[in-house]
Amino acid sequence: MKAQSKTQTSSNGTFSELDKLSMANITASSSRLWGFFIACYWVSIVTFVLLWRAYKHVSCLRAEALKSPDVKPEQFAIVVRDIPHAPQGQTRKEQVDYYFRTIYPETFYRSMIVTDNKEANKIWGSLEKYKKKLAHAEAVYEGSKTTAKPEGTRPTNKTGFLGLVGKKVDTIQYCNKKINELEARLESEQKVTLREKQQDAAVVFFSSRVVAASASQSLHAQMVDTWSVFDAPEPNQLIWPNLKIKYFQRELRQYLVYFIVALTIFFYMIPITFISAFTTLDNLVKYLPFIKPIVNIKALRTVLEAYLPQLALIIFLALLPKLLLFLSKFEGIPTESHAVRAASGKYFYFTVLNVFIGVTIGGTLFKAFKRIREHPTLDEISSLLAESLPGNATFFLTYVALKFFIGYGLELSRIVPLIIYHLKRKYLCKTEAELKEAWRPGDLGYGTRVPGDMLIVTIVFCYSVIAPVIIPFGALYFGLGWLVLRNQALKVYVPTFESYGRMWPHIHNRILASLILYQITMFGYFGTQKFYYTPLVLPLPILSLIFGFVCAKKFYPAFQHPALEVAANTLKEVPNMELIFRAYIPPSLRSEKIDDDRVEDALSQCSRTAPV
Amino acid sequence: MKAQSKTQTSSNGTFSELDKLSMANITASSSRLWGFFIACYWVSIVTFVLLWRAYKHVSCLRAEALKSPDVKPEQFAIVVRDIPHAPQGQTRKEQVDYYFRTIYPETFYRSMIVTDNKEANKIWGSLEKYKKKLAHAEAVYEGSKTTAKPEGTRPTNKTGFLGLVGKKVDTIQYCNKKINELEARLESEQKVTLREKQQDAAVVFFSSRVVAASASQSLHAQMVDTWSVFDAPEPNQLIWPNLKIKYFQRELRQYLVYFIVALTIFFYMIPITFISAFTTLDNLVKYLPFIKPIVNIKALRTVLEAYLPQLALIIFLALLPKLLLFLSKFEGIPTESHAVRAASGKYFYFTVLNVFIGVTIGGTLFKAFKRIREHPTLDEISSLLAESLPGNATFFLTYVALKFFIGYGLELSRIVPLIIYHLKRKYLCKTEAELKEAWRPGDLGYGTRVPGDMLIVTIVFCYSVIAPVIIPFGALYFGLGWLVLRNQALKVYVPTFESYGRMWPHIHNRILASLILYQITMFGYFGTQKFYYTPLVLPLPILSLIFGFVCAKKFYPAFQHPALEVAANTLKEVPNMELIFRAYIPPSLRSEKIDDDRVEDALSQCSRTAPV
């Protein structure tokens, strides 16, 4: 409604050049709309062609990567979940070994029962911490040996909370003592873990890539909620605590999380408005009287008054990616890369619905719902968007421009990490390892980067016909992005996991969703222009759905499971199964000493030559 | 509306006892409705428990059957479709062999390229016909050698249309000549077929059950629309002409058929009404003057006048199962049992929608649509059914009773086949083979029998609470059915194929669909009674959907593909791969002579010991 009134007053010259440009289109005669109409089809068809070629290309890349003649541990293993109770007198290990040796008498190598490593991880974590602390203290001690004072100063610390309170001790001695203590505890905990904390899941190793690939996609048990399998990810990607979650509990958790996420996306403004209403300055002063002197400073008061209402929102938006990642892991997703994909997918819907549609309609989705509830037709929903779009062209143009000037500038120069690194180097880092740690660029951060780019895709699609000036901006954004991020991905960031292009189907579907949003918007747009042939736009979303369906049928299964023809490629060398097996032992359970015990416990015996 | 007015006039005593019984319930006070309400939940919960146990039981039966230590050819083979074009200089056979030998170097045995056997089948068919005719003629000749005429009479026939016109020849000589001719033609046609009519599909044989089971459910190619596989059915079940249909064409055909079937189900009355309007006696006499004398006989005229309007409907209903089977095969379904399942599923929707709902609402779905269109809410649809149900209780009771008195009586005595058999024995059959042929009981006819029983299930469900007197009838029907059909299935009928219980998930889903129909009807029923707590019925259909979802997740995949743990059971003997391979050669291509040529053509070489 707001946008309509804008449209009527656009001749008053209260709008920017761009707005006028798009307004001009609106007031153009109906015959000119045919141009828009053709452009609308053109954009869609070009998108289809490019998406098809991209999917094919990524699929080939994935096949190439999987074909690689290098031995990769994840290509020789599968993960089994939902193992039923072991029969009387059989250990879990015996049960798993017997089961898989019966089915794969020749290629089964060994199995590793998943254990509950929480306690062991905790001990291992603090052990690592003390080791680092020791190294740091030794470096500090070395550094303090100046010519003036050749014996140096032994560093000290307090044992209490954050090193602020408690008894003062010699750090090097203290750490050594702690390390010895923890090593003993870790060793006993490892034994307990391997013996008593076995879960209903296992990693199973095969001596052949093809068999592992085939096993990962075959149904093993007659009852599907037992012995369910999937192809093993890289060792460090496996989320061990999630492996024990049972089949139907996973399903349940998934729907629960979808529900929570939907609530979050649609109604996140309610708690935030509530909190904002509460955290006014007056309220704060009333409940926290000690901040009164601060508030009384005038300059500070102005700033606080301006930002305090937004504070809750800013904190929420900053924490959202983390929250979504947490929720995705809570679903019971067993691999890190999958969790990141799931979180990124959820974040996409949040940004598109709230940032794009939210800004466009000029408020929260809430208001729009009200109008939709009153006239719940597709026509109404799409025209709601279409009416508001032209008015916001400038905003989104600025948004895209800002994103590539500032965003890529920061990205390329990496000025903030550089400053932080130099600060750390000067004041904190003493050892070589600490320096390396400080320099670590981390990974590309798919979780937030992809939804951000998808938002740009959505914006460019939706304005491509109404305000085509956005297209060069979009082209620049993605062109520069290709140059910048290719460099960053290849030479700067260190990937933490490799999912062999499984992100692509995800991106593909979301681009398609943006395209459909654009097509529906255009339908609404032609509707508001009283264009007589508006229904002719309707085949477009249907075409998009068919296109998506065909792509999903043709390409997607090869992303879900490794294709056998790919896995059948010959290897450079005979795989060392022992190394592959060891790669999956989590660091907290790794130990040189207890290898003999291990054989008796959760990690199964090697397959002897004769099959059972 | 009609049913409502009936309800109001029910006190006039114009209805049968049963109707009154149900009417009494309707006019009962609201507090008694709680009894109905509890019964409604009771029926649903009992159904869930029974369905769950049945699914589990059938799943175990399937596992047992698949575990069988007997060698069954279908457990060693998979069918590959959508084979891409062979590279230059490679024959199809080499291509397939190379592909599978690379993936399964140790267990691949041999492949058989699917050929277009249309011509060969035709020749083989007429060859068989002449062979039968020859045997028949020889038996007749032997029979004619009486003591009075020891040299007998050589049977003769005419060579023209149906043996009615043309030159008169000695049958034995004629048949022998024809057989020799056809055998030569078949042999050359077999060569041509094997060499030139190869299609993009193949049957691939493995020397291990587990590998075959695993291969049938694994993704082989990176592009999913090539090298698509499924587990081979029994040799005689394979529909060869459907194997060559391409991936996306199959998808397309499937949706096309669904659309046609939906049209048939909803609007079949339109063409039939049209035809009926045309085939009145007067019209017939006008266009076919030669039947005038017949029409003038008064008795005949009365009969014709009564049945002629129904004639088109009767013919349509008689041909419908055949039509649905044809449509299911047209979908590109590659096995007979699957086609029968698909046809039976389609027939179920037809009977439930048209017989049950049609009779209940008292007209075709057409009229109901009109009312639904005016008030398109779930509430309206369900109350439409609920209002009409009580009035039809008697009709459906009679229907069920008739079905089990007449139906099972005919079934058990098999009086019609017996009469036909004795007539045939007396007048037609001369040879032993012909007698056997006449005696053949055929198979159980799942295609029409299952939908018929499902209709009874639907009726019993829907009346179980409103007119519970139907329950003993239903129990009798299925109790007797268990006794009668168990006997017939085990001792009378000869199954034409074995699908290892794949029919069950199908039946399960349809029982569940009936249950949901019942629950929605009850919702409408409580609504028409102005029962205050009606919304409390709504959890029931949701519960049914969740139940169906859980069952599908837990049991269904094991019906889609053989589970590996089942296939891993040890065999009684080492399988004779040559016999397994030969079982899949269609009868029209079987020949003793051309075995050496065959090796060169569509049927691949045996796997030599050394893998490629």
**What are the C-alpha distances in Å from A567 to residues A234, A335, B609?**
16, 21, 23
Q: What is the pLDDT of residue B42?
A: 92
Rounded to 10°, the helix B446-463/B503-528 angle is 30
CB contact burial A589-598 (16+ within 10 A = b; e otherwise): bebeebeeeb
pLDDT at A495 over 80: yes
Instruction: For residues A174 and A96, state if they share a domain.
Output: no
Q: What is the pLDDT of residue A356?
A: 78
- The single-letter code of the amino acid at B245 is I
**Which residues have C-beta within 8 Å of that of residue A572, sequence separation ≥ 6?**
A69, A70, A71
Q: Is the CB of residue B220 less than 8 Å away from at least one CB of chain A?
A: yes
pLDDT at B599 over 60: no
Q: What is the pLDDT of residue A376?
A: 59
Q: What is the pLDDT of residue B77?
A: 92
Instruction: For residues A514 and A469, state if they share a domain.
Output: yes
Instruction: For residues A90 and A133, state if they share a domain.
Output: no
The three-class DSSP label of residue B353 is helix
Q: Which helix (H) or strand (E) holds B229?
A: strand B228-231
When pLDDT is cut at 50, 70 and 90, the band that residue A404 belongs to is confident
Task: Please list every residue in chain A whose beta carbon sits closer than 8 Å to the beta carbon of residue B215.
Answer: 214, 564
Task: Please list every residue in chain B whose beta carbon sits closer than 8 Å to the beta carbon of residue A553.
Answer: 224-225, 247-248, 251
pLDDT at A467 over 80: yes
- Identify the domain containing residue A167 by its residue range: 118-182
Q: What is the pLDDT of residue A379?
A: 64
More confidently predicted of B353 and A11: B353
**High-pLDDT (> 70) share of chain B, %:** 86
pLDDT at A44 over 90: yes
The three-class DSSP label of residue A548 is helix
Is A313 a member of any domain?
no
Instruction: For residues A481 and A439, state if they share a domain.
Output: yes
Task: Tell me which DSSP letter residue A14 carries.
Answer: -
Short-list A141, A179, A66, CA closest to A569: A66
pLDDT at B53 over 90: yes
pLDDT at A32 over 80: no
Instruction: For residues A518 and A502, state if they share a domain.
Output: yes
Cα A469 from chain centroid (whole Å): 32
Q: Are B202 and B111 in contact (CB under 8 A)?
A: yes
| Rounded average pLDDT over B5-28 | 43
Task: Please list every residue in chain A whose beta carbon sits closer than 8 Å to the beta carbon of residue B218.
Answer: 213-214, 217-218, 561, 564
Least confident of A198-207, A304-313, A330-339: A304-313
pTM as predicted:
0.81
Instruction: For residues B224 and B97, state if they share a domain.
Output: yes
Is B319 a member of any domain?
no
pLDDT at A380 over 70: no
Instruction: For residues A96 and A54, state if they share a domain.
Output: no
The three-class DSSP label of residue B549 is helix
Where do we find the tokens 């529900």? Answer: A259
Q: Say how far apart CA A341 and CA A344 lie, in whole Å.
A: 5
Q: How many residues does chain A have?
A: 612
| Rounded average pLDDT over A356-376 | 62
Instruction: For residues A410 and A513, state if they share a domain.
Output: yes
| Rounded average pLDDT over A491-508 | 88
Task: Please list every residue in chain B whose beta carbon sits closer than 8 Å to the beta carbon of residue A104.
Answer: 210
| Closest-CA distance of chain B to residue A210, Å | 7
Instruction: For residues B137 and B222, state if they share a domain.
Output: yes
Is A507 a member of any domain?
yes
Domain total for chain A? 3
Q: Say how far apart CA B223 and CA A550 lie, in whole Å.
A: 12
Exposed / middle / buried, residue B535 (Cβ in 10 Å: 0-12, 13-18, 19+) = exposed
Interchain CB contacts (distance < 8 Å): A and B: 112
pLDDT at A364 over 70: no
| Closest-CA distance of chain B to residue A476, Å | 33
Short-list A599, A531, A585, CA closest to A124: A585
Exposed / middle / buried, residue A292 (Cβ in 10 Å: 0-12, 13-18, 19+) = exposed
Q: What is the pLDDT of residue A597?
A: 45
Q: What is the pLDDT of residue B608?
A: 36
| B-chain residue closest to A552, CA distance | B224
Task: Please list every residue in chain A whose beta carbon sits closer than 8 Å to the beta carbon of residue B566.
Answer: 222
∠ CA B272-B274-B277 to the nearest 5 degrees? 105
| B-chain residue closest to A213, CA distance | B218
Instruction: For residues A163 and A122, state if they share a domain.
Output: yes
Tens of pLDDT along B547-598?
A: 999 999 889 999 988 888 888 888 888 888 888 888 888 888 877 654 544 4
For B455, the token pair is: 């209709």
Is A285 a member of any domain?
no
Is A370 a member of any domain?
no
Instruction: For residues A486 and A547, state if they share a domain.
Output: yes
Q: Say how far apart CA B258 and CA B265 lie, in whole Å.
A: 10
Q: What is the pLDDT of residue B376?
A: 59
Task: Tell me which DSSP letter residue B352 carries.
Answer: I
pLDDT at A8 over 50: no
| Rounded average pLDDT over A207-214 | 90
Instruction: For residues A534 and A505, state if they share a domain.
Output: yes
Q: Is the CB of residue B219 less than 8 Å away from at least one CB of chain A?
A: yes
Tens of pLDDT along B245-273?
A: 888 889 899 999 999 999 888 887 777 77
Q: Say how far apart CA B81 and CA B151 lie, in whole Å.
A: 58
Q: Say how far apart CA B259 and CA B262 lie, in whole Å.
A: 5
Q: Is the CB of residue A248 less than 8 Å away from at least one CB of chain B?
A: yes
Would you call A222 and B99 a contact, using CB atoms and an 8 Å cutoff?
A: no
pLDDT at B275 over 50: yes
Would you call B210 and A248 a contact, using CB atoms and an 8 Å cutoff?
A: no
Is A88 a member of any domain?
yes
Q: Say how far apart CA B59 and CA A226 lie, in whole Å.
A: 14
| Rounded average pLDDT over B369-388 | 66
Q: Say how far apart CA B84 and CA B96 lie, in whole Å.
A: 10
Is B344 a member of any domain?
yes
Q: Is the CB of residue A559 less than 8 Å away from at least one CB of chain B?
A: no
Short-list A318, A315, A302, A304, CA closest to A272: A315
Q: Say how far apart CA B100 and CA B205 lie, in whole Å.
A: 10
Q: What is the pLDDT of residue B57?
A: 94
Rounded to 10°, the helix A247-267/A298-330 angle is 150
Q: Is the CB of residue B104 less than 8 Å away from at least one CB of chain A?
A: yes
| Closest-CA distance of chain B to residue A98, Å | 11
Please give the span between the terminal C-alpha atoms of chain A, in angstroms, as a whole number.
76
Is A504 a member of any domain?
yes
Helix (H) and strand (E) counts in chain B: 29, 6
More confidently predicted of B329 and B394: B329
Cα A397 from chain centroid (whole Å): 27
